[in-house]
Amino acid sequence: MKVLVIGGGGREHAIVWKLSQSRHVDKIYCCPGNAGISELAECINVGDNNFEELIDFVKYEWIDLTIVGPEAPLSKGIVDAFEKEGRKILGPNIKAAQLEGSKVFAKDLMRRCGIPSAEYKVFTSYLHAEDYVRMKGAPIVIKAEGLAAGKGVIVAETVDEAIDGLKLIMKDRAFGDAGNRVIVEECIHGEEASFMVFTDGKTILPMVSSQDHKRVFDGDNGPNTGGMGAYSPAPVVTEKLESIIMEKVMRPAIKGLQSEGIKYKGILYAGLMIKNNQPYVLEFNCRLGDPEAQPVLSRLKTDLIDIASAITDEKLSNITLEWKPDASVCVVIASKGYPGKYEKGKVVKGLDDAKKMNDVFVFHAGTAFNNNKVVTSGGRVLGVTALGKDIKDAKFKAYEAIEKIHFSGMHYRKDIADKALKC
């Protein structure tokens, strides 16, 4: 069969890499793809928001299934557009994708469904938001309502930081229309975890747990990013806690949407804060996390095409997920200046040496070709991912591989997965 993957980051490289191992797949296309993806798929130059042109391409090439990686096309209705034309596509429709596209929609749903989350208030007025922050004090969390590439959340330790966050979102318009409304939320302290499931709207199958590292610098310091690394499994998510998450978070979310006439099909991600062995939802995402997808898909034994087909056909109950017992660690290498303004066009060296290592996968995120050389083209450039017998072993392999890679100004955290080693 032929498959089209929408997106061009590390998550999409991991998806393409997993699809390339399927006995069912004859040809993979990716839009727009990147330098690494081009080794496994044919990259096409069509905008991922140009649904009409994408559908024409799918029809012309007789593509059997499309898999959507990033959040923006989902929030803009790519699934609805494809299904209207009778084309199979993996992902939630535009109504269901509001779970990620509108943090207000998600928080209101959680309140209605009794899903544990932080106390919050929604503001359209900067002055009212500022007054509320001064009244509540700090620490406190400021969130842009809409999509902001994982950077629209400010955890403020002081009132001044919170006010600066409000100004950044509501006055400076750092995230554009995503900041038309802000959520001011209580700050829950604990340990974060990422929990993702496959669902066809009826059956819900949990993936192995993982933990992301959002801040740009070691020790969880600096501004939030799209993610500087991840590992799986996350020791904080015990078997007992997984059962609690399924019962208190994932099933109520799917059922709550269904009760409002919305069928959720695809991948549902809950960003959680674990406090006193109880989960609190920080956010919902409507796709695989990035970089969590890299370590999680590295551990997946079940054919991804079998899973995707079962979801689109609403036959997920026929699937039994199998996972490798290994642990996996992904370390993101970023460009100088990320998550702010960053440099592009830096030649990346040492990729072939890293790829020769056993159980190491170098997933490209922000790369392109220039005169047949791989160069940087994004803030997050590579996701160096390794499998090991345990977290310590996988971490050692990942950082050993990173030592073989170089480009001017490259930056990466040195403490990815350290939290797991302390458990």
Q: Report the alpha-carbon distance of residue 24 to residue 367 in Å, rounded.
A: 28
CB of 3 within 8 A of CB of 63?
A: yes
Report whether pLDDT(150) > 90.
no
pLDDT of residue 216: 96
The partner residues of 124 in beta bridges, in order of sequence, read: none
Per-residue pLDDT tens for 155-192? 999 999 999 999 999 999 999 988 999 999 999 999 99
Mean pLDDT of 374-391: 98
DSSP 8-state secondary structure symbol assigned to residue 407: -
Amino acid identity for residue 381 in this structure = V
Nearest C-alpha neighbor of 155 from the set 147, 123, 164: 164
Q: Report the alpha-carbon distance of residue 366 to residue 344 in Å, rounded.
A: 9
Report whether pLDDT(320) > 90.
yes
Per-residue pLDDT tens for 211-241? 999 999 999 999 889 999 999 999 999 999 9
Report whether pLDDT(147) > 90.
no
pLDDT of residue 366: 97
Per-residue pLDDT tens for 275-310? 999 999 999 999 999 999 999 999 999 999 999 999
To the nearest whole percent, how much of the chain has pLDDT over 70? Answer: 99
Amino acid identity for residue 406 in this structure = H
List the structure tokens of 417.
Answer: 């997965």
The percent of the chain in helix, strand and coil, each rounded to the nearest 5, is: 35, 30, 40
> Where do runs of H (alpha helix) occur along 28-137?
51-61, 71-75, 78-84, 98-101, 103-113, 126-136
All residues at 6 or more sequence positions from 145 whose CB lies less than 8 Å from its CB, including other chains: 102, 103, 104, 122, 178, 179, 180, 181, 182, 183
Give the dihedral of Cα atoms 251, 253, 258, 259; nearest 10 deg. 100
- Model confidence at 49, pLDDT cuts 50, 70, 90, reads confident
Report whether pLDDT(348) > 80.
yes
User: Which domains are present in the chain?
Assistant: 2-93 (3.40.50.20), 119-186 (3.30.1490.20), 191-318 (3.30.470.20), 327-421 (3.90.600.10)
Mean pLDDT of the chain: 96
To the nearest whole percent, how much of the chain has pLDDT over 90? Answer: 94
All residues at 6 or more sequence positions from 323 whose CB lies less than 8 Å from its CB, including other chains: 208, 299, 300, 301
pLDDT of residue 240: 97
pLDDT of residue 423: 65
The partner residues of 383 in beta bridges, in order of sequence, read: 332, 363
pLDDT of residue 421: 87
Omega into 32 within 30° of 0, i.e. cis? yes
CB of 356 within 8 A of CB of 336?
A: no
Q: Report the alpha-carbon distance of residue 312 to residue 187 in Å, rounded.
A: 37
Mean pLDDT of 133-151: 90
Report whether pLDDT(149) > 80.
no
